[in-house]
Amino acid sequence: MIAIIDYGAGNLTSVERAVSYLGFDGKITADAHTILSSEKVIFPGVGAAGATMDNLNAHRLADVLKTCYTSGKPMLGICIGIQILFDYSEEGDTECLGILPGIVDKFEATPQLKVPQIGWNEVHQTDSHPIFQGVPNPAHFYFVNSYYPIPAQPAVVIGKTTYGVDFCSVVARQNLIATQFHLEKSGRVGLRMLDNFLQCK
């Protein structure tokens, strides 16, 4: 069973639909025991960093996610799910999980650069990783974001995208993978990456 963490953020059902389309059993849950006993964990969603962390803390899930990480359980973060991994987010001056060192900053809006970024942008694979198996380099993915992660350790960055600045759009460390874009809304290449995660041992 794949636990899809429910922390009050939107867009959970589309992740569940994609998981089910690929032939896996996804379960939307905020229950610590269910999450700890799952094979894999996905933490998806759209929403604000502050509200997301408040929800995780209220359900005592911040520690559960950290335990999942240290125990080696395969984990996939999507959109807000990549941002909360870091120490801190500028969005609402929010202390995040601190699983990865680094911060989350906001795009600077200009007349040419609308914020949030909404649409399809290129992801350039900067390192080889099994999550990219069968995915063209570069390939387009669907983004909806005003904020972007700045990892303190360049080694965790495996994908980059340009929107005014070059930013980190995919990170990986040990059993953890996270994407700033929506895999579940990115057509066949997105499903391919999601399938790579679901198939991994």
Partner 1 sequence: MLTKRIIPCLDVRAGKVTKGVAFKGNVDVGDPVEMARFYYENGVDELVFYDITASNEKRNIMIDVVSAVAAEIFIPFSVGGGLRELEDMRRVLLAGAEKVSIDSGAVRNPQLIKQGAKAFGSQCVVLSMQVKRVPENDEIPSGFEIFIDGGRRSTGLDAIQWAQRGVELGAGEIVVNSIDQDGTKAGYDLELTGAIAALAPVPVIASGGAGKPKHLRDVFVESNADAAIVASITHYGEFTIENIKQYLDSEGVAVRNTW
Residues that are catalytic: 79, 182, 184
Quick note: the x/- pattern for partner 1 over 150-169, rule CB under 8 A, is ------------xx------
User: How far apart are alpha carbons 67 and 13 in whole angstroms?
Assistant: 25
Instruction: Report in angstroms how near the CB of residue 69 gets to partner 1 at its nearest.
Output: 27
Could you say which of 29, 83, 121, 169 contacts partner 1 (CB under 8 A)? 121
Residues 123-152 close enough to bind partner 1 by CB under 8 A: 136, 138-140, 142-144
Could you say which of 13, 57, 70, 153 contacts partner 1 (CB under 8 A)? 13
Q: Which of 91, 102 has the CB closer to partner 1?
A: 91
Could you say which of 23, 71, 93, 111 contacts partner 1 (CB under 8 A)? 111
User: How far apart are alpha carbons 100 and 87 in whole angstroms?
Assistant: 7
Residue 10 within binding range of partner 1, rule CB under 8 A: yes
Could you say which of 39, 128, 187, 199 contacts partner 1 (CB under 8 A)? 187
Could you say which of 2, 4, 18, 96 contacts partner 1 (CB under 8 A)? 18
Residues 51-110 close enough to bind partner 1 by CB under 8 A: 109
Q: Which of 20, 174 has the CB closer to partner 1?
A: 20
**Three-state SS string across the chain, please?**
CEEEECCCCECHHHHHHHHHHCCCCEEEECCHHHHHCCCEEEECCECCHHHHHHHHHHCCHHHHHHHHHHCCCCEEEECHHHHCCCCEECCCCEECCCCCCEEEEECCCECCECCCEEEEEEEEECCCCHHHCCCCCCEEEEEEECEEEEECCHHHEEEEEEECEEEEEEEEECCEEEECCEHHHCHHHHHHHHHHHHHCC
Q: Which of 29, 186 has the CB closer to partner 1?
A: 186
User: How far apart are alpha carbons 68 and 48 in whole angstroms?
Assistant: 23
What does the binding site for partner 1 look like in residue numbers (CB under 8 A)? 10-11, 13-14, 17-18, 21, 46-47, 109, 111, 114-122, 136, 138-140, 142-144, 162-163, 184-191
